[in-house]
Structure 1
Amino acid sequence: MLRFSLTFFALLTALLPALAQSDTREIVSELKDKTPKCVVLIMDVSESMKVDDYNRKMRSAAEAIVKDGLSDGDQLVLYTFGSGFKKVFDETPQTPAARRKLIEQLPLKPEPGEGTNIRQPHHEALKLAHASGKTPFIVIMTDSFNDPPKNTPDAYTEYQKYYTPGKLDVYPSTPENQDYESQLAWMNASPGKTFGIGVEILPSGRPKERFKVAPKEAAPATPEPSQQTTSAPAPPPKTEEFPWALLLGVGGAALAAVLFAVLRPKPLPLRIAGSGPPRDFDVRGNTTLRLGGEGGSAALDAYPLAGTREVVATVKGGRGQFTLVPQPGTKARVYHNGVPLEAPSPLRYGDEVRVSILDSNGALVKETRLKFSDPNKTI
């Protein structure tokens, strides 16, 4: 019974979502009106990002931040990390077209290799932002799992400069970690901010990491014979009633969480490609994905359309399929696979939607062709 309850308690802990994660729209809202600024993206490309399609979700969020959160002349930097890290680019794009070119360099999939070290690229990002002289913003995008790269000697040497093995809240007294803490203090005092997507950002500015499997505590060393002391026999341990009710309650809650995670319908992935870079969405049964609309480019539930601010149609999910729904009152003409969209119509991967934007006289102003595909098969 004890083993059963503890197993479900572990499952419940694993299913609890990270707290205080930043919403992409919140990030965009805070960034877009502040300039000049230095925005540093730190993206996890370790093997664990394959789980639950994390990599694609993070890339979609990063795309929205770059596209809608930056102004001309803002500095944009991208670091990727796993057991090591690399700076992908450090640019100051002056036009939306230049920002779109940088979006193309966002990582498409995780990289092979074991281990993660998030603190080293975070340290480098802080130093770079500090030296920029601009308002600093750092966005850390990760599943928050810490995996010591013990099988890669060079990477593990770097890891130990920032981590105490087996501990995530005990920091080493290395020069690298001391400077990291100094940069964290500078960031907290600056007018900028650190955001976390997939990970909680602690008050210190550090990302809150977690081990995949809790490390085993080392057994206490047996004293040398000369150090052993003799004392009176210890009294027998006091027997206390085992808290079965508490364990049963935890086990029941864990079981409910597991069943919810297993039985909850999975979102349907959808990629929309039009005049700009493709965007990826997760469409659930209660999701309404807007085609067009004001502010749509900053949202994760809308695909913006050039030439109009109105919603011209919506995509709804449910029962493992998509439905394309016409929008009442729109001035645009919408065609689904060449046929005028006049009633809800099943939407499938490979379909095309053509949107014709008209002026007040009925003349064509802009035409956009949208292609719908499965991002899991096109990446």
Structure 2
Amino acid sequence: MVLECVAQNLISRRQWLASAAGGAGLLVLGGCASPAAQPANKNLVVGGLFAGSRSDKGFMEAGWRGLEKARTELGVQTRFIDGIAPKKELLVPALTQLAEQGAQLVIAHGGQNNQAVAEVAPRFPGTRFVVTQGLVQGSNLSSYDVLQEESAYLAGVLAALTTQTGVVGHMSGIRVPPGLKGRAAYAAGVRDTNPRVKLLTNFSGDQDDNALSYRVAQAQIAAGADVIFTMLNAGRDGATRACREKKVRQIGNVIDWTQVDAQVFVASAWADVGIGVFQAVKDMTVNAAPQSGIVKIGLQDPAAVRLTTAADVPAAVRSRVEQASRAIASGQLKVPEAYNGPEFSI
């Protein structure tokens, strides 16, 4: 059994792409319960769908790590599909395959799955479905939403306090609800802190294209931005290269990028979206079902959401950020979810 698990996990993404290109259909990569995990959960099969690379050092990898944590700590069996584009016509058959192959719980990671899961879930009433960072619900469908927008608001506060030029940037890829809410929150944090600061905001259409993100970052820097908040996946490296070349500071998201490159990253809007994946599985093991409706996880849980800062951030700036964090966590400050301002294009 252990050898079978190892063999399954050695299947490469290249083999997956080759099989898909050759018309063989989607290949589900499998995982097995850890020998040290809880035996009571060994019969629970969880399927995960990741519309992107599970090694993107960002959103998709965080979700996959949440699934891996569930496998090793909770003792469930896992299967997953990754490496596909976030298009409904591809997501629907992938979700269908996971359900047909026996997953009692199917987790689609990311709000780009909202429509696809809402279509597939009614076809499998005996299967539970969860969308992380989602906005959908139903009789066998719920969403777990780690509130990235709350740490994005704090990123806006810090950007407005640390810019020297009075111009800050925002970069993202596809226009999915979490990204749109994150942009709205960042813009509000900037505006509430210093309304004289100008915001340049761009959705390029691709989370993973480094050449594209390099060009967008270059254009924003040329327009005066000296702090840029990036909500990207594998395409973050291009923006980072542009920032390093021009000595511009960047604010990352999802993980703590200040621990990766403190010279470039002045802060990071930490939002461990993998917690949504893990919590959904944990709820399934405890209650035989995920929580119903839309489950929100925000700044009240610092392990899930917070702003991390580099060592050179002044104490006064940290204090202002903490003040805003307390106001959000207490409910005194409501983070906006919509942005109606100008867009930056190249």
Q: Which has the higher contact order (CA 8 A, sep 6+)?
A: 2
- Which entry has the higher C-alpha Rg, 1 or 2? 1
Give the structure with the higher percent strand: 1
